[in-house]
Amino acid sequence: MFRAVATRRLQGAATLLRFQSTLVIAEHANDTIAPITLHTITAASRLGGEVSCLIAGTKCDKNLLPRVAAKLDVAPISDIIAIKSPDTFVRTIYAGNALCTVKCDEKVKVFSVRGTAFEAAATSGGGASSEKAPSASPVGTSEWLDQKLTKSDRPELTGAKVVVSGGRGLKSGENFKLLYDLADQLHAAVGASRAAVDAGFVPNDMQVGQTGKIVAPELYIAVGISGAIQHLAGMKDSKTIVAINKDPEAPIFQVADYGIVADLFKVVPEMTELLKKK
């Protein structure tokens, strides 16, 4: 299925030169566009008349980026955070500790966008015509099995204003219920560190960090997370960071605005109960 979808996307990219325009590959749930795509659209609006293909910096699109670039025979640029001109971009390197300015002279530019670096585009007030793209011919190497939709009342992780994340300090996947209860009171999304994901506590799509999702919410609560550099790279742009850890020397406290040195199994339930009373 992925190859067929990718083929249709590549057909769209191949028409860029004809229209001298920008193609944004949008992630959606059939009826709603993913929040990170709205940030990508903002980046697209700053490109002027250049021929470009923009991809949001999500797990799926990170897999798509090199394939699109290879089909177009161009060099891709990943995870840009600023656009200086239609051919000059800024991206992070060394886990976000340094900035690199890149100039691209390709006729068609293909790059992914870090959603947290751009404001979300408005979802109303504009209009555009639509054209149905022809379906790609079956490639004969894949078979449709089934489709499972997961629905949640919690906001999507990369677009949430409040994020509660857990680490290996939670000790098990069952203990993540403490975070789910707290998140429900804060109308927050729930994330996790790579250590928690690697331990099998939660699925991979909850991972926040350099190799996971990049978030920049108004409030980020890190529970039982030590603060490895890979995790900090994915959440350090949060407006306010609260850390809960029993180890006073945990690196997470170096970036936190507020720190609580205590047992998370006592503090988190107390916070949840206090919020329920309000």
Is 231 marked as binding a ligand?
yes
Is 212 marked as binding a ligand?
no
Is 139 marked as binding a ligand?
no
Is 165 marked as binding a ligand?
no
Beta carbons of 224 and 264 less than 8 angstroms apart: yes
Is 230 marked as binding a ligand?
yes
SS3 content of the chain, % helix, strand, coil (to 5): 35, 25, 40
Is 224 marked as binding a ligand?
yes
Is 172 marked as binding a ligand?
no
Cα angle for residues 193, 199, 203 (degrees, 5° grid): 65
Give 2-58 as a 3 state SS string: HHHHHHHHHHHHHCHHHHCCEEEECCECCCCECHHHHHHHHHHCCCCCCCEEEEECC
Is 167 marked as binding a ligand?
no
Is 229 marked as binding a ligand?
yes
Is 194 marked as binding a ligand?
yes
Is 261 marked as binding a ligand?
no
DSSP SS3 for 157? helix
Is 46 marked as binding a ligand?
no
| Residue with the two structure tokens 């949430």 | 160
Is 207 marked as binding a ligand?
yes
- Residues tagged in the binding site annotation: 168, 193-194, 207-211, 224-231, 245
- Residues tagged in the binding site annotation for FAD: 168, 193-194, 207-211, 224-231, 245
